[in-house]
Amino acid sequence: MDKMSTDALPLAMSSPEKRETVCIFGTGDFGRSLGFKMIQCDYDVVFGSRNPQTSSLLASGAKVLSYAEAAQRSDIIVLTIHREHYSFLTELTELLNGKILVDVSNNLRVNEHPESNAEYLAQLMPKAHVVKAFNTISAWALQSGALDASRQVCVCGNDSKAKQRVMDVVRNLGLTPLDQGSLLAAKEIENYPLQLFPMWRMPFYLSAVLCVFLFFYCVIRDVIYPYVYEKEDNTFRLAASIPNRVFPITALTLLALVYLPGVIAAILQLCRGTKYRRFPGWLDHWMLCRKQLGLVALGFACLHVLYTLVIPIRYYGRWRSRNATITQLMTKKENPFSASSAWLSDSYLSLGILGFFLFVLLGITSLPSVSNTVTWREFRFVQSKLGFVTLILCTAHTLVYGGKRFLSPSALRWYLPSAYILALVIPCTVLVIKFILLLPCIDKTLTRIRQGWERDTAVVKPAVNGKPDM
Amino acid sequence: MDKMSTDALPLAMSSPEKRETVCIFGTGDFGRSLGFKMIQCDYDVVFGSRNPQTSSLLASGAKVLSYAEAAQRSDIIVLTIHREHYSFLTELTELLNGKILVDVSNNLRVNEHPESNAEYLAQLMPKAHVVKAFNTISAWALQSGALDASRQVCVCGNDSKAKQRVMDVVRNLGLTPLDQGSLLAAKEIENYPLQLFPMWRMPFYLSAVLCVFLFFYCVIRDVIYPYVYEKEDNTFRLAASIPNRVFPITALTLLALVYLPGVIAAILQLCRGTKYRRFPGWLDHWMLCRKQLGLVALGFACLHVLYTLVIPIRYYGRWRSRNATITQLMTKKENPFSASSAWLSDSYLSLGILGFFLFVLLGITSLPSVSNTVTWREFRFVQSKLGFVTLILCTAHTLVYGGKRFLSPSALRWYLPSAYILALVIPCTVLVIKFILLLPCIDKTLTRIRQGWERDTAVVKPAVNGKPDM
Amino acid sequence: MDKMSTDALPLAMSSPEKRETVCIFGTGDFGRSLGFKMIQCDYDVVFGSRNPQTSSLLASGAKVLSYAEAAQRSDIIVLTIHREHYSFLTELTELLNGKILVDVSNNLRVNEHPESNAEYLAQLMPKAHVVKAFNTISAWALQSGALDASRQVCVCGNDSKAKQRVMDVVRNLGLTPLDQGSLLAAKEIENYPLQLFPMWRMPFYLSAVLCVFLFFYCVIRDVIYPYVYEKEDNTFRLAASIPNRVFPITALTLLALVYLPGVIAAILQLCRGTKYRRFPGWLDHWMLCRKQLGLVALGFACLHVLYTLVIPIRYYGRWRSRNATITQLMTKKENPFSASSAWLSDSYLSLGILGFFLFVLLGITSLPSVSNTVTWREFRFVQSKLGFVTLILCTAHTLVYGGKRFLSPSALRWYLPSAYILALVIPCTVLVIKFILLLPCIDKTLTRIRQGWERDTAVVKPAVNGKPDM
């Protein structure tokens, strides 16, 4: 091959390869990281700075100019400066007219200002096209390339062409743009990075309240009562025995609470005769955090399993087993094998194991990557059918565990029944109502309502044969 | 800033921001949800309805017009009506010519109609551009925004421009379009939401058959045999002991069946001297559901672990341990520590723990989000190398568990060997064949075949030095 | 509807639907698979081959022509031939000028050639636009559609239009293109499929070294020492007891090593008074593989849990419990219940269970699909706050386990302290330093540094009120 063509290569490389010039105002941590990332992705980056001379540590290949000079070089200007300093931009109004201003700022508190930073900027610079973006990405993530947390960049803006161009930049940086509509969405986008598991709050508080209540309930029954009547020191039960009573009850109750709103919704729909009336707010919220409730329940179930499996390793477990042997020998009693005890113990353990196994399966299918690969029919099958089987198995586990002791008067202490009886209240209620809803006559009506049939309209216009719309 | 520019803002907001107008025929559940989502994403939505007056509960911002009026407002018309009602569209043929008709319909059964709904629509409206889309998304998911199941929207259509426009809409709604080609694909796309774990069916049935067979096998050996000969009542074993015999055997057999098709394929390739001949259908299908087979096996292994760990908690386990102590005391026998028993028991437990640990690792790497982040070389390393180590460890676990009892004649009951011996048949076969295939002479030939070498062609055209193609 | 329009249908189908013609040079395994996939996705595929006549088994619908003929049919030519055979392309130089050559080749070893295959090709054909792509996808994956491993296709090239067109093809095949910049990136892209868990190497070797060291340490203390002094045969401990001592120590040490670099980095930042100076290379690397370190630690913790839970099932465990009972009976000693022992045993088990539970939670949140759905604030909360709680719980578990035996002189054997004391060195160091760093005065300075404050610059230009940049 000839020399000429090889010479042509670098030329070809430098010109069509570079995408465009992006200007970044501010040489702080985020500005530097973003600039570095953009240079990596073939962008020409120009920094705007108050003191272009003193700015060090910038990625090689980036120029640092004054704000005015930098702004002239590019259509897209990324503002990596704090909201309090936006006012200085008014000096550049002429220069920035018609340009795309990317607001990447965040606040320190939710709803810190009456309007979002991006809307404030849009008011300051009404002739520029303000686009909100990049605020959900961390500087550290951009720098290290280790985007362990979200790659999604929420973008919003009033000018759709400006938004589209910013979304292209986002895409070219290897991130996933998510169009959130007009600048009105900026407030929500700015609050997003400040949120801390909002959907988990209700399940978390609920389970905390349940745990504390059950803990004191068990302390009264298992520690204070024996101390008052028999002067027994049972405080050691606080460490493992009582947790292993509190955790399974919390788990079962929370699991039942996952299925309770569905049952309530069905009753509401039956009463109203339509599915087109909005549920009350609390029910909506409850239904939206069912997944989180279920996962918290699964966490407690796991703890219960671990606490149960260490029983034979615990000093108390070993002491009790040794004591039982010795007592039997001392009293010269026979030790006949009781098949019914074996049945009882084996069944409740089997029910528990199978219930826990299905529970873990439910947990795994709720992983985002797994639930993304299943169809809606499969998802509903797992979460609804398998979920109810899990609830039935776990309730049966508790029922059989109680066995003969169930409601025997000797189990009452200060009129307080055994703790596991409390565990059964909600699950049994849910299962009984669900069973009633599955009766053919009721189920048929419910299915029709869920397919869009309305009791009132059906009466009004019965002439149309069937409902044509989906 | 001046007043004028602020006045200009709303204008700028309303015009360039709105993307385009989309028309939705039908105001049923799905139509409403889709319309609501589109309005959220800046689309102008016009509903077409039989009775525009009576339609309530539509998202604010949407107009409801008659079908004809609505159709005139937009190029894209989404039909959220049932297939049976498509015929009314023929009245609008003139209006719909050249427009994009998006078919979102689903059926109630797989292959309900001879042709897909979309193809039927294309026949009815030959001059419109029919595109199939959105049928895999649920109305509830669109409404709540909680897209827990798939975000993927399969799209197909004969007109590529129409398809492209629909895919843009899909993308703008925050969903992921998946181009499936021409309308011929519509049938498959319509069947897709009806499917229920098609790849899991074979592993599921296989394991069910295995479980039932092994269950009865164990019942005969462990319950009926002792009852006939010693009048012992062993029925309590049905609850936990027999499951804990059935599950590990099923797990090990299924794990071996994951690696058997690879071994068969290797033998076939060696015999044929080429990899370019298609495998028989059953082998292809078997190879494609290896992942599911492995995960079912992992499920059974988990159950085995749980059942094993509760042994000391079970009444039977406690009774037996108490009995052993008492018997020893009664008979005044010594209780010398047997190092060989300790070795045997500790080794098979260790082998089991390590095997199970690797098995869980394999399971985790088969999670979509994990397998997506590894390279092919890493994936193959984990699934093939680690997989075989797992199989070896689990087989060794079973072999050492058998220990001295292995094939001792006293273990035969009615000529039936112990159940765990059945568990070893397939794993040992697979491991022996695999070992033979790893012998250098055979492995070399196999590697060459897998790199594209063909025995016959190699003989025919030896002139060409090597195979240039990949 | 009329016949005419139905006749028009196939015409409409055949012409606008086909996207474009792609030419594939080479009819090897990868070429065939890629061609088959492209035909599925509506591309017209033309194969170029040395012997167009003999090529069999190609997907129906694909033509096989000579190289020259095939090249004339398309702008995009995919080269599925090995690098050694690229030289024959020089014969086609005229034909290939201005065309897009897609290099899909891989090497057998990392850095096999001085320049990447794609760069070599670009030197051979300077007037063609070389784009590197598809080399990270396996032929088998394309064929079977079972893209279990990555769907990401790294693309790089000097001509951005050519690159864009190849990225469109990638997207149309249902894969995810990842723009990696200019051809300079080709080397890295070619090395990528050859890599085997590069980030896991350091954690893996580190844990292997730790395990081997601890194993021999325990062998000396628990097997050789008793043998030398008491002629006890403790070799059976090699199978389960010693692993269950080695694994927890390794797990705790690795977990502490996850948090050690953060602590070191904080000290460095405090000393330097700025966060803008690069950390030493080893610290950078260490920080980047913290996730892997943590997951390896979790693996060892899981093994520890399993080994602990089988203790009562092991022959040794059962023998010891039986022996304890018999000894007690023989010596006629009382068996009073010791509340303090119960407290101690229950607390260390509880601490261990809670620590392990949080550890598993940390592991789950590090799954890519989970960490993708959390915000940075949530991610940092889980990985840093919850992580430290986990470390505290696990360290406390070990401390309480030691209990009274802690540093008692009788525990020394050949001046070697108990192994679990070694486990405490790094965790306690990390926790103490972390505690010091959390003292208000130090924490305040650190926070300011991390927000971009610099000690030296702050002195130089104190006039500017605050730092405006983010």
Chains contacting A (3 or more CB pairs within 8 Å):
B, C
Among A146, C204, C152, CA closest to B373: C152
Per-residue confidence (pLDDT) for residue C468, from 0 to 100: 52
pLDDT digits 0-9 by tens, C107-153: 888 778 888 899 999 988 888 999 999 888 877 667 655 545 567 78
CB A259 within 8 A of CB A429: no
**Interface contact C137, partner B, CB < 8 A:** yes
Q: How confident is the model at residue A457 (pLDDT cuts 50, 70, 90)?
A: low
Q: How far is A467 from chain C (nearest CA, A)?
A: 26
Residues 6 or more apart from C419 whose CB is under 8 A from it?
C214, C217, C218, C221, C245, C246, C249
**Interface contact A323, partner B, CB < 8 A:** no
CA C212, CA C246: separation in Å to the nearest integer?
Answer: 9
| Cβ within 8 Å of A, C 60-99 | 90, 93
Instruction: Indicate the residue of A343, A349, A373 with minimum beta-carbon distance to B150.
Output: A373
**Interface contact A226, partner C, CB < 8 A:** no
Asked if A357 and B42 come within 8 Å (Cβ–Cβ), the reply is no
CB < 8 Å to C123, chain A? 1, 6
Question: Alpha carbon of C201 to those of A60, A113, A176, C196, C254: distances in Å?
Answer: 31, 48, 30, 9, 14
pLDDT digits 0-9 by tens, A204-263: 999 999 999 999 999 998 899 889 988 888 888 898 999 999 999 999 999 999 999 999
pLDDT digits 0-9 by tens, C313-337: 999 888 888 888 888 887 776 777 8
Task: Pick the residue from chain C with its C-alpha nearest to B177.
Answer: C174
A324-328, B363-367, B454-458, C91-95: which range is least confident on average? B454-458
Q: How confident is the model at residue A29 (pLDDT cuts 50, 70, 90)?
A: confident
Please tell me chain C's helix, strand, coil percentages from 3-state DSSP, rounded to the nearest 5: 65, 10, 25
Among A49, A200, A212, A188, CA closest to A107: A188
Burial level of C309, CB count in 10 A (0-12/13-18/19+)?
buried
Task: Pick the residue from chain B with its C-alpha nearest to C324.
Answer: B325
pLDDT digits 0-9 by tens, B276-311: 777 888 888 888 888 899 999 999 999 999 999 999
**Interface contact A53, partner B, CB < 8 A:** no
Question: Alpha carbon of A450 to those of A266, A275, A277, A464: distances in Å?
Answer: 9, 6, 12, 19
Mean pLDDT is highest, among A58-67, C58-67, C197-206, for C197-206
Q: Is the pLDDT confidence value at C190 over 80?
A: yes
Task: Pick the residue from chain A with its C-alpha nearest to C372.
Answer: A150
Q: How confident is the model at residue A406 (pLDDT cuts 50, 70, 90)?
A: low
Task: Give the 3-state secondary structure of residue C24.
Answer: strand
Task: Pick the residue from chain C with its C-alpha nearest to B154.
Answer: C174
Task: Pick the residue from chain B with its C-alpha nearest to A364.
Answer: B367
* ipTM greater than cut 0.85: no
Residue A418 backbone zone (phi > 0: left; psi -120 to 50: alpha; other: beta)? beta
Q: How far is A392 from chain C (nearest CA, A)?
A: 26
What b/e readout covers C323-360, taking b as 16+ CB neighbours within 10 angstroms? ebbbebbeeeeeeeeebebbbbbbbbbbbbbbbbbbbb
CB C66 within 8 A of CB C52: yes
Asked if B328 and C322 come within 8 Å (Cβ–Cβ), the reply is yes
Per-residue confidence (pLDDT) for residue B249, from 0 to 100: 95
Region B118-146 average pLDDT: 82
Q: Is the pLDDT confidence value at A88 over 90?
A: no
Among A59, A14, A12, CA closest to A36: A59
Q: Is the pLDDT confidence value at C102 over 70?
A: yes
Chains contacting B (3 or more CB pairs within 8 Å):
A, C
CB < 8 Å to B372, chain C? 149-152, 368
Q: For all residues of chain A together, what is the average pLDDT?
A: 82
pLDDT digits 0-9 by tens, B367-408: 877 877 777 788 888 888 899 999 999 999 999 988 766 666
Asked if C470 and A29 come within 8 Å (Cβ–Cβ), the reply is yes
Which is more confidently placed, B357 or C26? B357
DSSP state of B81: B
Q: How far is A10 from chain C (nearest CA, A)?
A: 9
Region B418-434 average pLDDT: 91
Task: Give the 3-state secondary structure of residue A243.
Answer: helix
CB < 8 Å to B321, chain A? 321
Helices in C273-386 by DSSP H: which ranges? 281-288, 290-309, 315-330, 339-365, 368-371, 376-380
CB < 8 Å to C152, chain B? 372
CA C308, CA C298: separation in Å to the nearest integer?
Answer: 15
Residues 6 or more apart from B16 whose CB is under 8 A from it?
A158, A159, A160, A161
Task: Pick the residue from chain B with its C-alpha nearest to C85.
Answer: B468
CB < 8 Å to A318, chain B? none
Query: Could you tell me the pTM of the whole model?
Result: 0.85
Among C283, C280, C301, CA closest to C207: C301
Among C451, C438, C412, CA closest to C274: C451
CA atoms within 13 A on the CB side of C8: 13
Would you list the DSSP string of B215-244?
A: HHHHHIIIIIHHHHHH----GGGGTTTTHH
CB < 8 Å to A178, chain B? 174
DSSP state of B403: G
**Interface contact B108, partner A, CB < 8 A:** no
Q: Is the pLDDT confidence value at B11 over 50?
A: no
CA B409, CA B415: separation in Å to the nearest integer?
Answer: 9
pLDDT digits 0-9 by tens, B252-280: 999 999 999 999 999 998 998 877 777 88
Burial level of A303, CB count in 10 A (0-12/13-18/19+)?
buried
State whether the Cα torsion B224-B226-B227-B232 is positive or negative. Answer: negative
CB B191 within 8 A of CB B218: no
